[in-house]
């Protein structure tokens, strides 16, 4: 073992520090047109008419396209991974402000932009629904009829349903929750809310479609090239082999760029005008593509006299926005972890995905888990306080240990929950003899801790190819997208380990569906485990074939000839290849439709937590995080240096979602769609941090490793809320925790609430 | 749209001339020379992804009209290794792992160059002050601060 565990710099380090790394952002093709999007100005309405005459008359405009033009090319132009509900351009109705309605095409993007300003549309406005709680009542219905894609078995019963906004309801029943609540000595119930916020990758969504004779090439900044290919082929009624999807490096993804975003639009436009078409969104437009679910989570626990949680009921409402995207998967896949990493015999979970007239919500670094941890770790802390128990001691008493079943019925395996938790407690100095300094006067100090967990996605498949050339060098072909997480480097280390090479010499070919094999997608921290296993197996397959080649060449068995010598001996010169291939498809049992239970619900578990020390200014409500401890179980890291930066980066991103980031809505209009008004963390916002990967091993992972991209987000928000409670005795139940929110709560506590501004 | 104007300027050490319309920004001008390291992202001069040096001062190229560089000298990220070797700042960014997706990295590196030129031994506060106009969504900030310090030590 020498390549695995090495802290080598990323393979593409030089390309990135010299500005020469390849992004779709850079791509220009001969004859290419730029598309600019005309968007809906109303949150919900029937389209009465779209006037494109003035735009078409503008000098330099090639063409203006509406939904009706696309319907001529694609009769059913609706896409989506879970529901076929999203039109390529709005048809008949618009369902959120910013929904694409028309596109102006021109060789000069400034001309296209000008043309968009000349388009106008008229709508018959309909009542709109924005709030997930309100959307449970079918007074305003966003979609007249539900159109599940048929991909997922648990959505089939929703097909054709009318008069509802519920795009998925997931229910889990374990033990006897009603009986346990009755028998419990203490019962606690709280409601927590999270806000709509978003990814803002710095390379905004961008895609280019390039038509050829009977094929279409799509260059895109996207995390799921294999899905894009099959979805575009389905829309066009083509076989998959006529659609080629190419993905270079991504300037950030964070879950925004999964499934189809701009790809169906550029594909349709390019086929309509028979020229390459590029659409590159602005930062502002990113606010109208995909976001993180706002949620309302009502959580109730029954606790025994001895301080054991005996029952927990979770009702989670997910605000999915106007189109389902992958929201129904969030509702189910994250839904079953809603009670948290605690050993609870009696559980009830009801998790609902709801359509509303907002920008759609999907996956954002944690796939719903940070919203859940926010609620269950705030709630768990409140219980400890009510019972006058130390929050660490209370959690210790209830924590879910190895081999014990989680709410779904699946036993915990290689899930270092207790180790992560004890690491946090130790780094926070919990249990130290020195008393914690609670501050005084106007600055009060407090500390809090929180831990969460996540299941990996399944069912799922990954395929890898390792090509050993006649000089002994190796090339890896996968459809994993390197968007900054370092997958190229980790895979090179795995191949190098298996083939006794140096990782720096392994070349990794980026996704190109004509060349690289199938992968479900780069999402949910799945790549290192799922594709990593496929890569290892493919490298081992190549090794087996090299040995067979050596035998064919008459070389004695058991000797270690360098591959170059084997090829030379076998072919009489430097010639030939050895191709190793493998696919990795883990086992999975889908939850029972009645009980929501499954004894094999995930191939592995991710564990992450945080501890925070805060200083609260009681005169202004300002919260300063003075220390942030992040800990996670990523198995045995392939590249510990890169892994630590993933942990740290995820925690800082979640710090933004905790303290400042919120998409502000007024009458369905986003009022802060820019980095000037939507505040993400900058270099002055970073607290002193400790980032620690616990010593662990994922036995089913490649060389003991598993995914880590999201784990750093889990505990940050509740750790800070718990610390604020510790400091000043107020409980914030809604994100983000702005100074205003804290000051309002403080003033309410003092019996002199702040008046709302007129 | 207004007619193009011919401008002459020094680009990465070479004198060049081109005709460009007055509404185009410096990012677009650089793309005409196949330089893509300055990237328009926020479009408001807030994220620093489009940073370029004009007469050795870092500017947000998305807010800087192309015609303004007439008679001036423009340096982009692509020029820092013109002699074949990475600059100490570039090398330090690699050594400390100070980037993930890499999209904002050229801006941070160019701003760090200006910082180290003006403050060869920067304090943490100097670093935060100079780099507060650059944003990194992957949040490699702790490693970026380390990188600047490492480059300063190597320069000394």
Q: What is the CATH number of the domain that holds B104?
A: 1.10.150.120
DSSP bridge partners of A106 = A34, A61
> Which residue of A203, A642, A684 is in closest CB contact with B103?
A203
Query: Is-contact A526 A520, C-beta < 8 A?
Result: yes
| Domain identity same for B92 and B73 | no
Q: Do B101 and A252 touch (CB under 8 A)?
A: yes
The verdict on residue B141 lying in a domain is yes
Helix or strand or coil: residue A140? Answer: coil
Helix or strand or coil: residue A80? Answer: coil
Tokens matching residue A681: 């963390």
The tally of domains found in chain B comes to 2
| Domain identity same for B113 and B65 | no
Which among B21, B42, B77 is the end of a domain?
B77
pLDDT score at A758: 53
A238-269: pLDDT as tens digits: 999 999 999 999 999 999 999 999 999 999 99
CA dist A490 → A20, A532, A707, B105 (Å) = 21, 8, 11, 21
Instruction: Spell out, as residue ranges, where chain A has pLDDT lower than 50.
Output: none
Instruction: Spell out, as residue ranges, where chain B has pLDDT lower than 50.
Output: none
DSSP A178-243: HHHHHH-SEEEEEEEEE--B----SS--EEEEEE-SS-EEEEE--S-HHHHHHHHHHHHT--GGGE
| Domain identity same for B12 and B60 | yes
Mutate to test the interface with B, among A11, A683, A709, A710 (most CBs of B within 10 A): A683
The verdict on residue B11 lying in a domain is yes
For chain A, the structural domain boundaries read 13-20+458-584, 291-457+593-749
Q: Work out the minimum CA distance from B109 to partner chain A, whole angstroms.
A: 8
Chain A residues within 8 A of B132 when measuring between CB atoms: 682-684
Which among B30, B48, B77 is the end of a domain?
B77
For chain A, what percent of residues have pLDDT higher than 70? 100
pLDDT score at A712: 98
Q: Do B128 and A683 touch (CB under 8 A)?
A: yes
Q: Do B128 and A10 touch (CB under 8 A)?
A: no
The verdict on residue B118 lying in a domain is yes
Chain B residues within 8 A of A284 when measuring between CB atoms: 43
Query: Of chain B residues 128-147, which have a CB less than 8 A from chain A?
Result: 128, 131-132, 134-145
| Domain identity same for B68 and B36 | yes
CA dist A43 → A77, A359, A677 (Å) = 21, 9, 21
**pTM surpassing 0.90?**
yes
Query: Of A121, A70, A67, A126, whose CA–CA distance to A95 is shortest?
Result: A126
Q: Do B78 and A20 touch (CB under 8 A)?
A: yes
| Domain identity same for B94 and B68 | no
> Which residue of A17, A250, A642 is in closest CB contact with B90?
A17
Chain B residues within 8 A of A18 when measuring between CB atoms: 37, 77-78, 80-81, 86, 90
The verdict on residue B114 lying in a domain is yes
Q: Work out the minimum CA distance from B8 to partner chain A, whole angstroms.
A: 23
Tokens matching residue A465: 């190819």
Q: Work out the minimum CA distance from A286 to partner chain B, whole angstroms.
A: 10
| Domain identity same for B69 and B93 | no
| Domain identity same for B51 and B13 | yes
The verdict on residue B82 lying in a domain is no
Query: Of chain B residues 17-76, which have a CB less than 8 A from chain A?
Result: 23-24, 31, 35-39, 41-44, 46-47, 49, 76
pLDDT score at A1: 55
The verdict on residue B50 lying in a domain is yes
A480-518: pLDDT as tens digits: 999 999 999 999 999 999 999 999 999 999 999 999 999
* CB pairs A-B closer than 8 Å: 154
Query: Is-contact A608 A712, C-beta < 8 A?
Result: yes
- Centroid of chain to Cα A600: 22
Tokens matching residue B86: 């990475």
The verdict on residue B134 lying in a domain is yes
Query: How far apart are the two ends of chain B, measured CA to CA in Å?
Result: 51
Query: Is-contact A314 A351, C-beta < 8 A?
Result: yes
Burial of A538 (0-12, 13-18, 19+ CB in 10 A): buried
Which residue is associated with the tokens 């602005």?
A282
Chain B residues within 8 A of A17 when measuring between CB atoms: 77, 86, 90-91, 93-94, 99, 102, 105-106, 109
The 3-state secondary structure of A335-391 reads HHHCCCCECCCEEEEEEEEEECCCCCEECCCCCCHHHHHHHHHHHHHHHHHHCCCCH
Burial of A48 (0-12, 13-18, 19+ CB in 10 A): exposed
Chain B residues within 8 A of A283 when measuring between CB atoms: 41-44
Give ∠ CA A684-A688-A689 in degrees, rounded to 5: 120
CA distance B31 to B40: 11
Query: Of A204, A203, A228, A165, whose CA–CA distance to A287 is shortest?
Result: A204
Residue-number span of the structural domain to which B108 is assigned: 88-155
Average pLDDT across chain A, whole number: 96
Determine the topology of domain A13-20+458-584 in CATH.
Aldehyde Oxidoreductase; domain 4 (3.30.365)
Q: Work out the minimum CA distance from A17 to partner chain B, whole angstroms.
A: 6
Catalytic residues of A: 710
What would you report as the CA-atom Rg of chain A, rounded to the nearest whole angstrom?
27
Chain B residues within 8 A of A646 when measuring between CB atoms: 100
Query: How far apart are the two ends of chain A, measured CA to CA in Å?
Result: 67
Q: Looking at domain A291-457+593-749, which of 3.90.1150.10, 3.40.190.10, 3.30.230.10, 3.30.365.10 is its CATH number?
A: 3.30.365.10
pLDDT score at B1: 62
| Domain identity same for B109 and B71 | no
pLDDT score at A157: 82
CB distance from B123 to chain A under 8 Å? no
Give every CB contact of residue B44 below 8 A, 6+ residues apart in sequence.
Answer: A283, A674, A675, A676, B62, B63
Query: Of A145, A156, A78, whose CA–CA distance to A328 is shortest?
Result: A156
Which among B77, B100, B130 is the end of a domain?
B77
């Amino acid at each position: 073992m020498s390549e695995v565990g090495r802290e080598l710099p990323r393979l593409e380090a030089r390309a990135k520090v010299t500005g020469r790394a390849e992004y779709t952002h850079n791509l220009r093709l001969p004859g290419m047109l730029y598309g600019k999007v005309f968007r809906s100005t109303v949150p919900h309405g029937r389209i009465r008419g779209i006037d494109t005459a003035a735009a078409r008359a503008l000098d330099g405009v090639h063409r203006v396209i509406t939904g009706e033009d696309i319907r001529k090319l694609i009769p059913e132009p609706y896409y989506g991974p879970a529901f076929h509900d999203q039109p390529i351009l709005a048809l008949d109705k618009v369902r959120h402000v910013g929904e694409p309605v028309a596109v102006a095409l021109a060789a000069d993007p400034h001309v296209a932009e000008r043309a968009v300003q000349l388009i106008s549309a008229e709508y018959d406005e309909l009542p709109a629904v924005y709030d997930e709680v309100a959307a449970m009542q079918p007074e305003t219905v966003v979609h007249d009829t539900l159109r599940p894609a048929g991909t997922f078995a648990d959505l089939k019963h929703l097909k054709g349903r009318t008069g509802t906004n519920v795009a998925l309801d997931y229910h889990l029943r374990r033990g006897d929750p009603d009986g346990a609540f009755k028998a419990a000595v203490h019962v606690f119930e709280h409601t927590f809310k999270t806000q709509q916020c978003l990814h803002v990758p710095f390379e905004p969504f961008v895609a280019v479609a390039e038509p050829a004779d009977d094929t279409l090439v799509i260059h895109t900044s996207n995390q799921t090239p294999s899905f894009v290919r099959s979805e575009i082929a389905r829309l066009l009624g083509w076989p998959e082999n006529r659609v080629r999807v190419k993905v270079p490096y991504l300037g950030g993804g964070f879950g925004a760029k999964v499934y189809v975003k701009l790809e169906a639009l550029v594909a349709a436009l390019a086929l309509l005008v028979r020229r390459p078409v590029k659409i590159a969104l602005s930062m502002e437009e990113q606010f109208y593509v995909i976001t993180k679910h706002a949620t309302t989570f009502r959580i109730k626990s029954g606790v025994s006299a001895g301080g054991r949680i005996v029952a927990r009921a979770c009702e989670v409402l997910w605000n999915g926005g106007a189109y389902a995207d992958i929201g129904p998967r969030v509702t189910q896949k994250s839904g079953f972890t809603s009670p948290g990493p605690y050993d609870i015999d009696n559980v009830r979970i009801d998790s609902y995905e709801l359509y509303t007239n907002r920008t759609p919500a999907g996956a954002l670094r944690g796939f719903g888990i940070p919203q859940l941890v926010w609620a269950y770790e705030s709630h768990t802390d409140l219980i400890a306080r009510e019972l006058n128990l130390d929050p660490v001691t209370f959690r210790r008493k209830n924590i879910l240990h190895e081999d014990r079943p989680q709410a779904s019925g699946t036993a915990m395996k290689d899930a270092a929950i207790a180790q992560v938790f004890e690491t946090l407690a130790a780094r926070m100095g919990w249990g130290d003899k020195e008393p914690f300094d609670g501050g005084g006067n106007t600055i009060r100090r407090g500390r809090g801790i929180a831990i969460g967990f996540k299941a990996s996605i399944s069912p799922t498949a990954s395929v890898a190819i390792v090509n050993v050339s006649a000089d002994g060098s190796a090339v890896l072909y996968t459809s994993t997208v390197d968007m900054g997480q370092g997958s190229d480097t980790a895979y090179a280390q795995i191949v190098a380990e298996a083939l006794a090479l140096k990782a720096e010499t392994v070349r990794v070919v980026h996704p190109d569906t004509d060349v690289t094999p199938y992968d479900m997608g780069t999402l949910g921290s799945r790549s290192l485990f799922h594709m990593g296993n496929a890569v290892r197996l493919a490298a081992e397959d190549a090794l087996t074939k090299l040995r067979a080649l050596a035998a064919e060449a008459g070389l004695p068995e058991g000797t270690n000839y360098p591959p170059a010598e084997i090829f030379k001996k076998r072919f009489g010169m430097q010639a030939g290849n050895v191709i190793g291939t493998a696919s990795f498809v883990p086992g999975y049992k889908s939850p029972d439709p009645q009980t929501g239970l499954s004894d094999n619900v995930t191939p592995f578990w991710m564990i992450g937590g945080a501890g925070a020390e805060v200083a609260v200014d009681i005169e202004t409500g300002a919260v300063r995080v003075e220390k942030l401890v992040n800990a996670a179980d990523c198995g045995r890291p392939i590249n510990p240096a890169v892994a630590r930066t993933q942990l740290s980066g995820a925690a800082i991103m979640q710090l933004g979602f905790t303290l400042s980031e919120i998409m502000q809505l007024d009458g369905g209009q986003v009022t802060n769609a820019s980095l000037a008004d939507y505040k993400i963390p900058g270099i002055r916002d970073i607290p002193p941090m400790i980032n620690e990967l616990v010593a662990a091993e994922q036995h089913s992972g490649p060389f003991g490793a598993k995914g880590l991209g999201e784990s750093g987000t889990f505990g940050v928000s509740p750790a800070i809320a718990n610390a604020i409670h510790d400091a000043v005795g107020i409980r914030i139940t809604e994100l983000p925790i702005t100074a205003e929110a804290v000051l309002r709560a403080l003033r309410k506590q003092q019996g002199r609430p702040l008046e709302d501004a007129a | 749209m207004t007619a193009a104007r011919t401008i002459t300027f020094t680009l990465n050490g070479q004198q060049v001339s081109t005709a460009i319309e007055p509404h185009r920004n410096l990012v677009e001008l650089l793309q005409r020379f196949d330089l893509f390291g300055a990237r328009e992202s926020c479009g408001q001069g807030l994220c620093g992804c489009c940073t370029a040096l004009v007469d050795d001062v870092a500017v947000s190229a998305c807010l800087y009209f192309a015609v303004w560089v007439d008679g001036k000298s423009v340096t982009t990220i692509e020029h820092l290794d013109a002699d074949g070797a990475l600059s100490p700042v570039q090398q330090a960014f690699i050594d400390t792992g100070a980037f993930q997706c890499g999209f904002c990295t050229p801006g941070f590196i160019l701003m760090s160059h200006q910082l180290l030129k003006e403050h060869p031994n920067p304090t943490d506060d100097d670093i935060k002050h100079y780099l507060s106009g650059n944003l990194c969504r992957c949040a490699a900030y702790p490693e970026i601060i380390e990188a600047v310090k490492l480059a300063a030590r190597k320069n000394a």
